Amino acid sequence: MITQSKIRGMFLGATIGDGLGMPVETFTPEKIKEKYGITRVTEYLVPTGHKWFDGRQAGTTTDDAQLTLAVAEGLIESGFDMNAQARKHVEAFQITTAGWGRTTKTAIRNLQNGAGWQTSGVNGVGNGVAMKIAPVGAYLRAMSDMTKTKEEKSLWLQSGFEFVRNLTLMTHRSRNVLCSTVGMVVAFYKCLEDDCDVDALPGYILKMSKAAKGWITGGEEDDDVVERLALLSKHGEYDAEKLIAEFGGGSCYCYNSIPFALMFFLNNPRSIDALYDVVSAGGDADTNGSMVGALLGALNGEEIFPKHLVDGLDGKDHILEVADLFWEAIK
């Protein structure tokens, strides 16, 4: 059974990673050192002069936290109901779109203007779905644990992954986005187990992301993210320098971002250092940090996060409130 500490850890990690990476989003390690005089980001920084986040306080978050909470609230309210997801995304859109990617912003504007979730999505290849998918992996895990027979579990998993497909296509009509998002769902699904075998994660991720190729028609893409995810089994061969060089500097392109984040996590899954390392690598640092932070929390529980990161997180009380409501809905 999933523990409350793991759920709290997952939500805290998603938001802590976002806040930690926000000030250095789009930076290189060299630029981080030049601007802040550090080679390792271990505390919240003030994003003074940042092209998007100038004027914000240290410890504030962006769309990664905002939309993770929106997905969670939809699940709490109505389970795998796409209409609830569409409504929660529009509500978030009406509050702020600061930090939102172009694809997500366009798709949710389409929803606001009357399109159904079945037709609102547009072509886009970013990490805007994987970044918010942690609650879906947790919901799928909890509900499948409650099934009594193998057949019931199979049907539940089928409906859960159909929901993942629909949630992806609501914004991003891309095979690579779907396959990488499915891979991230599997990572959360497995990390929330009591006795997760982290060494087996690359195999599970590859198997399901490969299966997801057949869940969408059309939209052929030159790059194949499944081939990138196949490299996860060799994660030990990749240090930060090699990851930055071979995965586009951790850019927001799903082909780079999702395997990049997963590699950092797999290289140090039991330590907060994995979060510090991925944020300090730069690139799409807030989103990569959010995904790694959420995975660390899901695997290890809330105790993995240092007090200064929890206490300094803007909106901490609301984040924990949503986490506890989510826990009540799935326990």
Task: Convert the pLDDT of each residue in 129-183 to its tens digit.
Answer: 999 999 999 999 999 899 889 999 999 999 999 999 999 999 999 999 999 999 9
Q: Is 278 helix (H, G, I), strand (E, B) or coil?
A: helix
The answer on pLDDT for 221 being more than 90 is no
In contact, 316 and 310? CB cutoff 8 Å = yes
The answer on pLDDT for 291 being more than 80 is yes
The answer on pLDDT for 219 being more than 70 is no
Q: Average the pLDDT over 181-189 and give the result.
A: 98
Measuring CA to CA, how many Å separate 254 from each of 125, 241, 248? 6, 19, 10
The DSSP letter of residue 52 is: T
Looking at this protein, which amino acid is placed at residue 126? G
In contact, 130 and 124? CB cutoff 8 Å = no
Q: Is 83 helix (H, G, I), strand (E, B) or coil?
A: helix
- pLDDT the model gives residue 220: 65
* 217 vs 206, higher pLDDT: 206
Q: Average the pLDDT over 285-296 and give the result.
A: 98
Instruction: Report the alpha-carbon distance of residue 193 to residue 187 in Å, rounded.
Output: 10
In contact, 209 and 121? CB cutoff 8 Å = no
Of 117, 110, 109, the closest CA to residue 85 belongs to 117
- pLDDT the model gives residue 148: 86
Instruction: Report the alpha-carbon distance of residue 181 to residue 136 in Å, rounded.
Output: 11
pTM: 0.98
Check: CATH 2.60.40.10 for 4-330?
Answer: no
Q: Average the pLDDT over 225-237 and give the result.
A: 97
Q: What is the mean pLDDT of the chain?
A: 96
